[in-house]
Structure 1
Amino acid sequence: MIGNAFAWGENGYSIIEEGELNRQTWALDVKHYLIAKPSGEPLPGTFSLEEAKARIELLEEG
């Protein structure tokens, strides 16, 4: 299940939560994060939050 998305960096990348719905708390238990390019196209793979942030920063450095 996809959760919240938030912008990261200066060029329009997004970090998106993905996980399972906890039926007892009705909260999303985030398992990992996805990265979407500014075009909306996803990058391959899954990441921890810190890995996603670092990957975007590397992509923006060029």
Structure 2
Amino acid sequence: MIGNVTAWGQRGYTILEEGELDPASHRLRITHYLVADPHGETVDQRFPGMNEARAYIDYLELPN
């Protein structure tokens, strides 16, 4: 299940929370984060935390 989506960077990347719904509390238990490119396609890698996902996008946006 996908939770909140956070825009990051200057080129249209987003970070998506992914996890399982906790049946007792009805809240999302985040298991990892995904990164979607500006076209909405997720990259193959999963990230353990928001900071790692942000760092990955920052790396992708470095000038060549």
TM-score (norm 2): 0.90
Amino acid at match of 1:37: D
CA distance in 2, matches of 1:39, 1:10: 14
TM-score (norm 1): 0.93
CA distance in 1, matches of 2:16, 2:24: 23
Q: Is structure 2 residue 9 aligned with structure 1 residue 4?
A: no
CA distance in 2, matches of 1:42, 1:20: 18
Unaligned runs of 5+ in 1: none
The runs of at least 4 aligned residues of structure 1 exceeding 6 Å deviation read: none
Question: Which residues in structure 2 correspond to 1:7-46 (within 5 Å)?
Answer: 7-46=7-46
Q: Report the identity percentage.
A: 48
Unaligned runs of 5+ in 2: none
Q: C-alpha root-mean-square deviation of aligned residues, in Å?
A: 0.8
- 3-state SS of 2:38 partner: coil
